[in-house]
Amino acid sequence: MTRMVRDFFEVEDRVSLDRMIDQLAALRDRLPEGATDTKVQMRGDDLFGRTLSVSYLRPQTAEEAARDARYSQGGRLSIAA
């Protein structure tokens, strides 16, 4: 089974409605093959500002899988006495 990776895309908090719709439509069109569980969430607060965050799950790339395999196998250090 292929592992899934969560990716994020953030939209500026001060844009016109038309621009935001265009950005979200372009993002939807660019989602990778197999992307699932797409969610839109408002993040932030009044002090630091807010962003509209879009997250989705996508299949892990071969490069990411190779890196995960390399680090999971070498995760333990053995110290010779």
Q: What is the pLDDT of residues 13-36, one digit of tens each?
A: 678 889 889 988 998 898 888 888
Per-residue pLDDT of the chain in tens (81 residues, 90 and over written 9): 468 888 888 877 678 889 889 988 998 898 888 888 889 898 888 888 888 888 999 888 889 888 888 887 765 555 554
Asked, for residue 70, whether it belongs to a domain, the answer is no
Q: Does the residue 42 lie in any domain?
A: yes
The domain tally of the chain equals: 1
- Does residue 12 belong to any structural domain of this protein? yes
Does any domain span residue 8?
A: yes
- Residue 67 is predicted with a pLDDT of 87
- Is 67 domain-assigned? no
* Domain extent for 8: 4-62
With respect to residue 54, please indicate whether it lies within any of the assigned structural domains: yes
CB under 8 Å to 49, separation ≥6 — which residues? Answer: 13
The pTM (predicted TM-score) of the whole model is: 0.62
Residue 48 lies in a domain: yes
Q: Is 41 inside a domain boundary?
A: yes
- The pLDDT assigned to 32 comes to 83
Separation in Å, CA 63 to CA 30, 36, 41, 59, 75 = 20, 20, 29, 12, 18
